């Protein structure tokens, strides 16, 4: 086994809304101000929290998810994401023990701490309580024999009361208190239907996080947290350092000539399309792809010389009028995709491909008209959480079918009159299932968000479709030239 020291700690909480994101971003800013090279991760499938991390650090934050990836791959991704940095901060998800289906610790922050050997620090929102905080902390420490909780931060704690509560926690529970966070009214991260607002929507965000860092330097034991991070056990990975499934796919990519062909993939990225897993793009690059970005909102046309298209999720419903008004972009995408151009479109990108899409007020707007149907607003989350996808059609091939089971995540307040039927989605630990996704040999369109490292073969199949189309185009061009 090969091992490498990776200083790190995980910030978690008893429940959502306890202040994890605020404390995480403030600590990231404080560590960076100290001159440390800092990397960050988000536990679970969340897109928005990593955007805030990235805004603070000026570097990409990544997701770690033990539902999507096995233990070896999870440790590999953490080690790789932490390379060339001095310390890593991981933000947990929901409550510390909340995992699959709300009834299992699998895919929880606790599970990630256990799989990666990362010490956890519990952020306890003490608003409205004092001594009762000890009972809450004690419950989290004792729920699992090996809780991996090595410290506590008291959020929204009175500075006057803090010394006494800190003393009682450390004496009675034997757990270290790494400080407190006073009530901060000038920095409030607002929410909307899919979670927090985006970083670019918060005025003077960098200045606010710098101010938060100054506060935390005074109220938190940051030296102690750095020391805790250095105590984290070495990350254990396979002898070669690369998980077996990934190794096979990388070998396939080499044999298929992806690095020589360098398929050029256009990725939608703007205010409307911003839910992007950094590791998805990283895997495509590792296989040999070249990534270029474009804006369905602002650009009149797609980038030149592309071989494939990625339309990820975001908030297209907030920009429906502008997307509809960009007629040249809509028409170009429609023409390409109707002719089989390789494309993966998920959630918001899938909605954009409909004939019409409603905005937040229920007004329908013309979209790309690739899918004959309507994307419409609902009043509540229709399908929420992790799913496993399997091919649903026996009599034909389509992208992703050969890969086997694909793991994905759904979270949306919109639905479609044409969700597709080529895959069957099943919720783990639950009986609920349904059909979804439009699939062809070169395209997948549907609501599920896919994480490529959960099954790297999907990324290889997509690039194969891109390279095949390019080669066929060259052959066709040669035929025309000869004539």
**pLDDT at residue 102 in the model:** 87
**pLDDT at residue 46 in the model:** 85
Q: What is the pLDDT of residues 4-48, one digit of tens each?
A: 589 999 999 999 888 898 899 999 999 999 999 999 999 998 878
Q: Kindly report the CA angle at 379 between 376 and 382, in degrees rounded to 5?
A: 75
E-assigned strands of 13-48?
Answer: 38-43
25 is catalytic: no
Q: What is the pLDDT of residues 430-478, one digit of tens each?
A: 888 999 999 999 999 999 999 999 999 999 999 999 999 999 877 776 6
Which range is least confidently modeled, 31-45, 227-241, 304-318, 333-347? 227-241
Return the DSSP state at 75.
H
Higher pLDDT, 435 or 380: 435
Task: Mention every residue, 6+ apart, whose C-beta is less than 8 A from residue 242.
Answer: 76, 250
Residues 329 and 323: their CA atoms lie apart, in Å, by 9
The residue among 465, 447, 467 whose CA lies nearest residue 353 is: 447
pTM: predicted TM-score of the whole model, two decimal places: 0.91
Q: What is the pLDDT averaged over residues 126-138?
A: 95
Instruction: Say yes or no to pLDDT of 255 above 90.
Output: yes
Which residues make beta-bridge pairs with 314?
A: 273
Distances from the Cα of 39 to the Cα of 50, 86, 237, angstroms: 11, 8, 19
DSSP of 237-266: E-TTSS-HHHHHHHHHHHHHTHHHH--EEE
Instruction: Say which of 25, 237, 347, 466 is annotated catalytic.
Output: 347
Instruction: Say yes or no to pLDDT of 219 above 50.
Output: yes
Residue 327, both tokens = 């007629």
**pLDDT at residue 183 in the model:** 87
| Percent of the chain residues topping a pLDDT of 90 | 77
Instruction: Say yes or no to pLDDT of 382 above 90.
Output: no
Domains delineated in the chain: 2-237 (3.40.50.300), 244-477 (3.40.50.880)
First CA to last CA across the chain, in angstroms? Answer: 60
**pLDDT at residue 193 in the model:** 44
Return the DSSP state at 18.
S
Q: What is the pLDDT of residues 178-210, one digit of tens each?
A: 999 998 876 665 554 444 566 666 666 778 888
Q: What is the pLDDT of residues 54-79, one digit of tens each?
A: 877 787 889 999 999 999 999 999 99
Q: What is the pLDDT averaged over residues 172-177?
A: 97
The mean pLDDT of the chain is 91
pLDDT band of residue 321 (cuts 50, 70, 90) is very high
| Percent of the chain residues topping a pLDDT of 70 | 93
* Cβ atoms 339, 304 nearer than 8 A: no
**pLDDT at residue 194 in the model:** 42
């Amino acid at each position: 086994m090969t091992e490498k020291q990776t200083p790190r700690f995980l910030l978690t909480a008893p429940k959502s809304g306890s202040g994890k994101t605020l404390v995480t971003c403030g600590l990231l800013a404080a560590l960076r101000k100290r001159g440390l090279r800092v990397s960050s991760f988000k536990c679970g499938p969340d897109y928005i929290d990593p955007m805030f991390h990235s805004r603070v650090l000026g570097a990409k934050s990544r997701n770690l998810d033990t539902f999507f990836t096995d233990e070896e791959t999870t440790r590999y991704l953490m080690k790789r994401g932490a390379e060339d940095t001095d310390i890593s901060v991981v933000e947990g998800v929901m409550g510390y023990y909340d995992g699959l289906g709300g009834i299992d610790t699998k895919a929880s922050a606790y599970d990630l701490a256990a799989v990666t050997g990362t010490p956890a620090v519990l952020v306890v929102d003490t608003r409205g309580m004092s001594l009762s905080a000890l009972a809450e902390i004690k419950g989290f420490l004792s729920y699992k024999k090996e809780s991996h909780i090595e410290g506590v931060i008291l959020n929204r704690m009175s500075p006057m009361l803090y010394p006494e509560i800190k003393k009682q926690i450390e004496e009675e529970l034997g757990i270290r208190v790494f400080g407190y966070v006073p009530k901060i009214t000038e920095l409030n991260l607002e929410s909307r239907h899919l979670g927090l607002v985006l970083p670019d929507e918060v005025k003077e965000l960098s200045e606010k996080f710098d101010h938060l860092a100054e506060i935390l330097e005074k109220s938190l034991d940051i030296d102690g947290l750095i020391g805790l991070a250095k105590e984290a056990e070495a990350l254990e990975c396979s002898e070669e350092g690369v998980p077996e499934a990934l190794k096979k796919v990388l070998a396939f990519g080499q044999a298929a000539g992806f690095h020589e062909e360098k398929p050029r993939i256009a990725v939608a990225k703007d205010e409307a399309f911003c839910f992007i897993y950094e590791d998805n793009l990283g895997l495509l690059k590792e296989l040999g792809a070249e990534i270029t970005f474009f804006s369905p909102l602002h650009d009149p046309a797609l980038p030149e010389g592309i071989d494939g298209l990625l339309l990820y999720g975001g908030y297209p419903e907030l920009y429906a009028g502008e997307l509809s008004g960009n007629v040249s972009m809509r028409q170009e995408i429609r023409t390409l995709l109707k002719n089989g151009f390789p494309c993966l479109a998920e959630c918001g990108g899938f909605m954009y491909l409909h004939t019409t899409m409603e905005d937040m007020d229920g007004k329908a707007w013309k979209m790309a008209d690739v899918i004959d149907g309507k994307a419409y607003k609902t009043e509540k989350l229709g399908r929420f959480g992790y799913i496993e996808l399997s091919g649903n059609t026996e009599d034909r091939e389509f992208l992703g079918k050969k890969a086997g089971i694909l793991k994905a995540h759904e979270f949306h307040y919109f639905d479609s009159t044409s969700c597709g039927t080529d895959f069957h989605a099943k919720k783990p630990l639950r009986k609920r299932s349904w059909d979804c996704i439009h699939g062809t040999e070169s395209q997948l369109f549907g609501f599920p968000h896919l994480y490529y490292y959960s099954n790297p073969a999907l990324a290889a199949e997509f690039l194969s479709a891109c390279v095949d189309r390019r080669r066929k185009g060259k052959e066709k061009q040669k035929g025309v030239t000869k004539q």
